[in-house]
Structure formats: structure tokens, C-alpha cells
Amino acid sequence: MKLFGTYLTVAAGQTQPAMESSYIAVYEHNLITNPDPRVPMLRQAALQHMQKNLEVQAAQAAQQGAQILVFPEDGLHGFNFIRTSIVGYLETIPDPQQESWNPCTEPEKHNNTEPCPLSTDPTSSCPSDGRWQFNTNIACRSDGLLVARYHKYNLFPEESFDTPPQPEIITFDTPFAGKFGLLICFDIVFYKPTIALVEKGVRQLIFPTAWFNTLPLLDSVQYL
């Protein structure tokens, strides 16, 4: 029984002094997709596929002074997966409130072994196949340390992922722009987490999205 998380990486600066303005880069690119997204792929092949969608943009953003780099939802692996075919792309993401982990210095520490039920919600029941698969947004410091993890609660619908047992209200702090809240795409139209974050005083949101305009109420212009 395993806990999986797919990730949408946010790189948050670590040691920069406070500034009157901050620089945020949004990763936009011509996505290289998996030609057979419903066919399971081995882990190494999945990593190689995601690497093609990373290239050198992160380094270029840093060279231009970006203090946060936001990757789009599904921007590393693509679309149209089913529950079994996306497994090669997934990995365990621990709760940074319970464990300090730097995936850059300890890449092999977690190998998808957290059992059901969730350690963060012991009363939760397991999915029928014995594993949780979440659409997940993470934030890492510039040195790689994991500082925040958010599981998307409002799916649209996404057959490869599970809805978490409870909505999460997740924030992280930066030395250059204060506090940020995390949410993903369709979350933006729901009270939790979006309004709940605002009610907590959060005024800056990290909002990775793979948006499809659906008139009349779900046009992206209304939310961006």
C-alpha cells in the first residue's frame, strides 16, 4: 500500500534580503506529451520524459533574478492518464510540517512506502487499490528544502487522482515577499482553500493551472 504524489514545483528563495519588489517567473512551454498516456510507463522512462519538459528554464529564470518559479499544472508530464498509467510519474511527498526533507540531497529517502490510511489522517479509508494518488503542489526553497505541500481538493474531474479526505489550507513564508498560499486550478472557484486562505490574511497565491475555458462561468479571464 503506497502513498503517491505528483508534483507541481514552486521554487522559493531562501536567503535573499527583503526587497520592495519581488520577481516571479511562470514556466510556460510547448509541452512534450506522452504519446500513449493510458499505457503504464516504467519509472526511469517517466523521469526521462519529465526531464525533457524541464530543460534549462529554471537556471535561466534564476539568472534573470526570479525568486519564485511556478510550474503549470500537468506541465511536466501532460494529460489524459488513467489511474494505473500515471503511477510511474508519481512519488511520495512527505509533510514538511512533520519531517525535514531535501530531495536534492536525499533523493532516495522516500520510495513510496507510506501505507494507507494516511499518517496525516488515520481515520481515512484507503482507495480500493490500496494507494492514494494526489494532484500535488509543493514549494521548495532555493537550496531544495521542501517547505510546503498541498493536495488538490477540487478535482475537475481527474480519474488518475484521489480527493484528499479533508481540504488543506497550506501557506509558506519567504524572506522577500512574505506569505504565499497554495492552491491548484479548479480550487480557485471554491471556498476551500481559496477564500479560507484569504480569510487567514493571505494576499499572494501560487496558482498552477491547466485551465480549459468553459463558458459562461469558467472563463479563465474571470479568475486570473
Out of 91, 114, 152, 168, pick the active-site residue: 152
Whole-angstrom distance, CA of residue 200 vs CA of residue 100: 25
With contact defined as beta carbons under 8 Å apart, do 195 and 172 qualify? no
Out of 73, 91, 114, 168, pick the active-site residue: 73
Catalytic annotation present for 73: yes
Whole-angstrom distance, CA of residue 91 vs CA of residue 3: 8
Whole-angstrom distance, CA of residue 202 vs CA of residue 71: 21
Out of 2, 114, 158, 185, pick the active-site residue: 185
Q: Which amino acid is at 30?
A: N
Q: Write phi, then psi, for 62 (nearest 5 degrees).
A: -65, -40
Give one DSSP letter per residue of 155-216, joined into a string.
Answer: -SS-TTSPPPSS----EEEETTTEEEEE--GGGGGSIIIIIHHHHTT---EE-------BTT
Q: Write phi, then psi, for 74 (nearest 5 degrees).
A: 65, 10
Q: What is the DSSP letter of 18?
A: P
Q: At CA 13, angle to CA 139 and CA 224, rounded to 5?
A: 60
Bin 75: left if φ > 0, else alpha if -120 < ψ < 50, else beta. alpha
With contact defined as beta carbons under 8 Å apart, do 177 and 42 qualify? no
Catalytic annotation present for 185: yes
Active site residues per annotation: 73, 152, 185
